[in-house]
Amino acid sequence: MNLNNMTSKQYKHNELGLSDGQVIDMYKYMLLARKFDERCMLLQRAGKINFHVSGIGQETAQVAAAFALDREKDYFLPYYRDYGFVMAVGMTPRELMLSAFAKAEDPNSGGRQMPGHFGSKRLRIVTGSSPVTTQVPHAVGFALAAKMQKKDFVSFVTFGEGSSNQGDFHEGSNFAGVHKLPVIIMVENNQYAISVPVHKQLSGKVSDRALGYGFPGIRVDGNDALAVYAAVKEARERAVAGEGPTLIEAMMYRLSPHSTSDNDLAYRTKEEVEENWKKDGLAKMKQYLIDCGLWDEERDADLAAQLSMELKEATEYADNAPFPKPEDTLLHVYADDESGGKQ
């Protein structure tokens, strides 16, 4: 099927420089991420995996951002909800399932980190740790390296709005602003930090904080894939042109509980969650594709079946894979470990 010949009409995605095939691919990754999260939540409830933190409701912005970056050269510092992002830059469901099952073959950490702590040299995903927002100064460091080495890559970092109140965000942003570094800082404002609603976390807009650091800050609808794509694309153009950082606040809603250990109905109502399901970016994207004449229910059902099969295979593979050996606990901890620090 040649998707580029399906329509000669110009739609919003064409105006932004995205082909019909690319915009369909975006939707595929969004749906894959949604199904991956749903599968992991079930696996946790079935006692197959220990823990899961989902990105349900955040896939749209994550995948759209990935499509606006250079997936061959940029450096990525995602946070724990970014399954859509890491899959869109090349991590496979099998690799992520190996991580969820904490198996030795997990490329992120050999099954020793909590899931959601992404890391891949191959994909230039910089390994992160659990204290939130530590990845911001790290991303700024990568951007400093790009500037010092006169290379045209950018670094892209994400985190939640609650985390934007940590000192690391402010210190990293200030340094990036002073040195006009090629970093894109994207806050996924899902309106909760565990049980704390956004109005108890912030009295202003996160995006406005960029003013104090001397670079642009914009707020976008995180449920609108094309709006996020346009914002990140422009931020990347500015970054490689030497114009410095951009702060993007993508507005969304955390549709799932904070994690599989959380009962969200202890602090928010079912009605509030249902109201936000109506704004789901994934459903919006599907409707957009249908309106453009690029998609229909039959294709959607075929895609869903294909993704389910892919996830089933990934799950079975990870379930059957061996656990790490207890004696490997200290691998990569000391410089002279058995791997010679090569992995």
Complex with ligand TPP: residue 164 or 246, whichever CB lies closer: 164
Least separation in angstroms between CB 39 and ligand TPP: 20
How many H-runs (helices) and E-runs (strands) does the chain carry?
12, 7
Amino acid symbol at 131: P
* From the list ligand TPP, Mg ion, none, partner contacted by residue 194 (C-beta under 5 to 8 A by kind): ligand TPP
Q: Which residue has the tokens 């459903």?
A: 283
The DSSP secondary structure of 95-130, one letter per residue, reads HHHHHHTT-TT-TTTTT-SPTT---BTTTTBPP--S
| 132 touches ligand TPP (CB under 6 A) | yes
Q: Distance between the two ends of the chain, CA-based, in angstroms?
A: 40
Q: How far apart are CA 207 and CA 225, in angstroms?
A: 18
Query: Which residue stretch of 94-102, 153-161, 289-297, 312-320 sits at the interface with ligand TPP (rule: CB under 6 A)?
Result: 153-161
Distances (CA, A) of 79 to 61, 85, 115, 123: 13, 9, 11, 15
* From the list Mg ion, ligand TPP, none, partner contacted by residue 131 (C-beta under 5 to 8 A by kind): ligand TPP
| 185 touches ligand TPP (CB under 6 A) | no
| 200 touches ligand TPP (CB under 6 A) | no
- Burial code (b: 16+ CB inside 10 Å, e: under 16) for 140-160 equals bbbbbebbeeeeebbbbbbbb
Closest chain position to ligand TPP (CB): 160
* From the list ligand TPP, Mg ion, none, partner contacted by residue 13 (C-beta under 5 to 8 A by kind): none
Tokens of 62: 């994550």
Q: Which of 192, 213, 215, 295 is close enough to bind ligand TPP by CB under 6 A?
A: 192
Q: How far apart are CA 242 and CA 255, in angstroms?
A: 37
Write the Ramachandran bin of 111: left for phi over 0, alpha for psi from -120 to 50, otherwise beta. Answer: left
Query: Reduced to 3 DSSP states, what percent helix, strand and coil does the chain have, rounded to the nearest 5?
Result: 45, 10, 45
Q: Which of 31, 193, 225, 252 is close enough to bind ligand TPP by CB under 6 A?
A: 193
Tokens of 143: 């951007």
Q: Which of 78, 84, 110, 160 is close enough to bind Mg ion by CB under 5 A?
A: 160
| 162 touches ligand TPP (CB under 6 A) | yes
How many chain residues are in contact with ligand TPP, going by CB under 6 A? 16
* From the list ligand TPP, Mg ion, none, partner contacted by residue 57 (C-beta under 5 to 8 A by kind): none
| 84 touches ligand TPP (CB under 6 A) | no
Question: Hey, is 10 helix, strand or coil?
Answer: coil
Complex with Mg ion: residue 206 or 235, whichever CB lies closer: 206
Question: Hey, is 131 helix, strand or coil?
Answer: coil
Q: Which of 148, 178, 194, 304 is close enough to bind ligand TPP by CB under 6 A?
A: 194
Q: Which of 34, 39, 52, 81 is close enough to bind ligand TPP by CB under 6 A?
A: 81
How many chain residues are in contact with Mg ion, going by CB under 5 A? 5
Least separation in angstroms between CB 276 and ligand TPP: 14
* From the list Mg ion, ligand TPP, none, partner contacted by residue 132 (C-beta under 5 to 8 A by kind): ligand TPP
Complex with ligand TPP: residue 162 or 222, whichever CB lies closer: 162
Q: Which of residues 92-121 bind ligand TPP (CB under 6 A)?
A: none
Which residue spans within the chain are E strands per DSSP? Answer: 75-77, 155-160, 183-189, 192-193, 196-197, 217-221, 246-251
Q: Which of 160, 172, 222, 245 is close enough to bind ligand TPP by CB under 6 A?
A: 160
Complex with Mg ion: residue 187 or 230, whichever CB lies closer: 187
**Footprint of ligand TPP (CB under 6 A):** 81, 130-132, 159-163, 166, 190, 192-194, 254, 258
